[in-house]
Structure 1
Amino acid sequence: MIEPISTTPFGRRSLTFAMLAGQVASQRCEPGASVNKWQVFRAVCEAKKKLGASDRALGVLNALLSFHPETDLVEGEGLVVFPSNAQLSLRAHGMAAATLRRHLAVLVECGLVVRRDSPNGKRYARKDQSGDIRQAFGFDLAPLLARAREFEAMAEAVRGERRALQLLKERITMLRRDISKMLSFGPEEGILTDWQGHRLAYQEIVSQIPRTASHTELEPIAQALAQLAQSVRKVLENHVKTQNPSANESHSERHIQNPQTESHGFEPRAKKAPKQNVRPTPETRKKPSTGYPLGLVLRACPDIAHYARNEVSDWGGLVDAANLVRGALGISPDAWQQACATMGPVEAAISVATMLQRAEQINNPGGYLRSLTEKARAGQFSAGPMLMALLRAAERGQRAKPS
């Protein structure tokens, strides 16, 4: 029969409610209960913030568990470990004695272990004649067995909070991306609203995001971003609704496969005007105002030929290829239509062809085309100078090539 052991601390250490709670918990072990000591240790590590245990205190607990000879903690089978401070310090990676005592006190206060102090404060075990331990003085690991389910529940709660926080951070990231892109898209497309006000509201919300934040801190920020995103999206959706007829027409144009119906009215063989977003007029059927032949345009801007459905043999083919290129450059249908209406489809196509040839030098093709359109509206733009500059660059490149 195991003799009763004093549960009060040795020396000047006073009894605390935490010590009593740990002792009560150790007595709640169910008969025959067992648990893998490393599994419960992992649960304790995950729940350390809820338990109030530090990383270094858990390092000491890991060292204490290593002195238990079995993998499982089993009720009634020697759960008291009694290493000396020197041995415990070695397994705690050389922790100083004063630091070791401080972290052992933390483990007791957290209810993870119970002190079983001997009359003289030393840690040891008494055995009977058969070699079985009758009394052991040291640290009782019974609370880990008795509270194993509690620790696992706490760890699961921590994992749930971590998953929720991760999802919230991902939501905030996506909202920030959406709002940022919409705030760039709207002004570029000339949509009228208070973009500066939206931008200031966005910056105000984002400035409130801390470097390390909890779920409680991030939730109102996510809600504010969602409301702002909804407001900006509503502005864009209303604009789309007002532009729906032309958008549907442009959509139909992209799916026409008959080259004759895609003609822009510049081919002598064309028998009827096409149905598309750039409608030909008597003026647009004429040669472009630049006065440059098609061959010169293709020599200055050879890249556009790669985008044509067929060989570019007339002005209609050039306009058709430019309409495809503007989508590849990210130029909106509205910007393309404005350019065609202001400078004429051929002049607009030549402008797009020159932009394609200098694509690496143009950061915002849509905004650049709108700028050219405004200059053309004021009578201050012609595609001729750009063509000649490209021709001179091409000729210099040809002369620079080794023979």
Structure 2
Amino acid sequence: METGYITTPFGRRSMTLALVKRQVETKQDLADRSVDKWRVFRDVGDARSRLGLQDRALAVLNALLSFYPATELGSDKNLIVFPSNAQLSARANGIAGTTLRKCLGVLVEAGIIIRKDSPNGKRYARKGDEGAIEDAYGFSLAPLLARAAEFAALAQDVAAEQRRFRAMKDRLTVVRRDVRKLITVGMEEGLPGDWVAAEDYFVELVGRFSRRPTLQDLAASLDEMTLLHDEVSNMLEVQEEVGKNDGNGIANGCHIQNSNTDSCNEFEPRFEKKQGERSEPTKRTGRKGEPEVFPLSMVLRACPEMTAYGPGGSIGSWREMMAAAVTIRQMLGVSPSAYEEACEILGQTGAAIAIGCILERTSHINSAGGYLRDLTAKARRGEFSLGPMLFAQLRANSLPRRASA
């Protein structure tokens, strides 16, 4: 076989260890076999993204194969073709000479063909007395035969990835549509919750979609859009449940009459009222004056560090979350008066959410107490809503996951 001898390129083209290794591996992998040259060509074309080949390189490979007289590439046959550049260019749709040489180099580097240069760099064949080719100089197609199974496996892998890509893209389209319509329902029906913040997050997320996404891009976008879908769905489903939990938290608690920082019921705000006067329920301010309602699961995803401060290192209810907020309040040095004021303006769950978000951003906040007082003052003036803060924290927590996808 012509692959039994390691050849080096003519002229200034350098020889590399990788080229030596490919020639040795080709020789070792050649067995008593044959394969349809056009079938291998189709597999190489399907796997071109994995092999680093562009369309023009495939056109040159197609031209090279057209100079091989038989349909089957066999180990018992001469696998070297020796067309001139002019002949190759003519069969490769008139490709320019510079581009032709570049494509040939790409095919060699990819291990698709092997150069076998003559002493003077020309491509030709020597024939014996009976007209059979005894020796030839040009390009060996032996790698196509030796790597036929590898190319077929790569082509199948690429096809499977394309199927996953299409399925994931369809899924993202459906989830995106569902989120858009669910947010519209919440806004048009005037349901409790910061739907404007949810819509802003949705628009920002869609704006980050790549025009030519990879499978990893789609997976990251689908992950974030699914998270938003879950939270928006919960905002629609748990309105009554959250309202009951908040009402029970107020009804079962007691008022704070002192500033004892060790009190386990500190999350209950203090209301000053005259004798015989009815207590007004805590009012939470949100956009358009509605109370801000968020699913507990959404809050814990946005503020995962709170979980460690819950009873037994976990949080399973709003009351446990508010208890955890008291512990965090003490740790951050927030005064009882600042926290009570936040409870009166934001509501007890709202104040706990604010504490959780502050905990997540402690490295960026100089004074937690001052920051909470500033948020409370803005909420009193109608300039602050928990929704944007919560969705911003959700988005910030999703960044590491996207980077690792």
Return the TM-score normalized by structure 2: 0.56
Q: Does 1:130 align with 2:130?
A: yes
Instruction: Report if aligned partners of 1:22, 1:112 keep a CA contact under 8 Å in 2.
Output: no
Code of the aligned partner of 1:184 = T
Corresponding residue number in structure 2 for 1:157: 157
Secondary structure in structure 2 of the residue aligned to 1:93: coil
What SS does the corresponding residue of 2:29 show, helix, strand or coil?
coil
TM alignment of 1:59-138, pairs within 5 A: 59-138=59-138
Over residues 125-152 of structure 1, what are the superposed CA-to-partner deviations in whole Å (9 max), with x where a residue is unaligned? 1122222211111100000110111111
Looking at structure 2, the residues matched to 174 and 91 of structure 1 have their Cα atoms a distance apart, in angstroms, of 46
| Residue 210 (str. 1) matches residue 210 (str. 2) | yes
String of CA shifts for 1:45-83, please: whole Å, max 9, x gaps: 122222122221111111000001111111121111111
Structure 2 distance, partners of 1:97, 1:18, is: 26
1:57 aligns with 2:49: no
Answer yes or no: is 1:177 the counterpart of 2:167: no
| Partners of 2:40 and 2:148 within 8 A in 1 | yes
Distance change in 2, residues 1:113/1:30 (3 Å): closer
The CA deviation string for residues 80-134 of structure 1, in whole angstroms up to 9 with x for no partner, is 1111121111101112222211211111111100011111211111122222211
Give, in whole Å, the separation in 2 of the partners of 1:8 and 1:217: 43
Cα contact 2:108–2:114 (8 A) shared by 1: yes
Sort the Cα spacing of 1:6 and 1:156 in 2 relative to 1 into closer, same or farther, 3 A.
Answer: closer
Question: Could you tell me whether the CA contact under 8 Å between 1:2 and 1:134 is conserved in 2?
Answer: no
Select between 186-195 and 111-120 the one with higher mean Cα deviation. 186-195
Residue aligned with 1:120, SS: coil
Write the distance in 2 (CA, Å) between the matches of 1:222 and 1:148: 36
How do 1:317-328 and structure 2 match up within 5 A?
A: none
Q: Which moved more, 1:12-21 or 1:41-50?
A: 12-21
Alignment of 1:189-208 (within 5 A): 189-208=189-208
Secondary structure class of the residue paired with 1:234: helix
CA change 1:168–1:226 in 2 (3 A) is same
* Structure-1-length-normalised TM-score: 0.56
TM-superposition CA deviations, 1:178-225 (whole Å, max 9, x none) = 011111122323322211121112112112111111122222221111
Task: Kindly state the Cα deviation for residue 239 of structure 1 after the two structures are TM-superposed.
Answer: 5.8
CA 1:240–1:212 in structure 2 vs 1: closer, same or farther (change >3 Å)?
farther
Measured at CA, do residues 240 and 35 of structure 1 come closer, stay the same or move farther in structure 2, by a change above 3 Å?
farther
**AA matched with 1:17:** L
Tell me the residue number matched to 2:16: 16
Q: Which has the larger radius of gyration?
A: 1
Q: How far apart, in 2, do the equivalents of 1:134 and 1:3 lie?
A: 14
Q: Shift of residue 43 of structure 1?
A: 1.2
CA contact (8 A) 2:26 2:143 kept: yes
SS of residue in 2 equivalent to 1:27: helix
Over the matched positions of the two proteins, sequence identity in percent amounts to 48
The CA deviation string for residues 225-244 of structure 1, in whole angstroms up to 9 with x for no partner, is: 111111111232346999xx
- How much does 1:163 deviate? 1.6
8 A Cα contact 1:25 1:147, kept in partner = no
Secondary structure of 2:99's counterpart equals: helix
* Contact 1:113–1:144 (8 Å) recurs in 2: yes
Contact 1:29 1:142 in 2 (8 A): no
The answer to whether the Cα contact below 8 Å between 1:81 and 1:138 also exists between their aligned partners in 2 is yes
Q: Partner residue of 1:323?
A: none
**Matched residue type, 1:186:** G
Q: Residues 181, 10 of structure 1: CA spacing in aligned structure 2 closer, same or farther, 3 A cutoff?
A: same
Q: Which residue does the alignment assign to 1:31? A: 31
**Equivalent-residue separation in structure 2 for 1:176 and 1:240 (angstroms):** 26
Q: Which has the higher contact order (CA 8 A, sep 6+)?
A: 2
Cα deviations across residues 343-383 of structure 1 (Å, max 9, x unaligned)?
Answer: xxxxxxxxxxxxxxxxxxxxxxxxxxxxxxxxxxxxxxxxx
- Partner-residue secondary structure (3-state), 2:60: helix
The 8 Å contact of residues 4 and 27 in structure 2, kept in 1 or not, is answered as no
| Unmatched runs of 5 consecutive residues or more in structure 1 | 243-403
Distance 1:14 1:29, change over 3 A: same
Do the aligned residues in 1 keep the contact of 2:53 with 2:106 (CA within 8 Å)?
yes
**One-letter amino acid of the counterpart of residue 115, structure 2:** R
Separation in structure 1 between the aligned mates of residue 195 and residue 22 of structure 2, nearest angstrom: 61
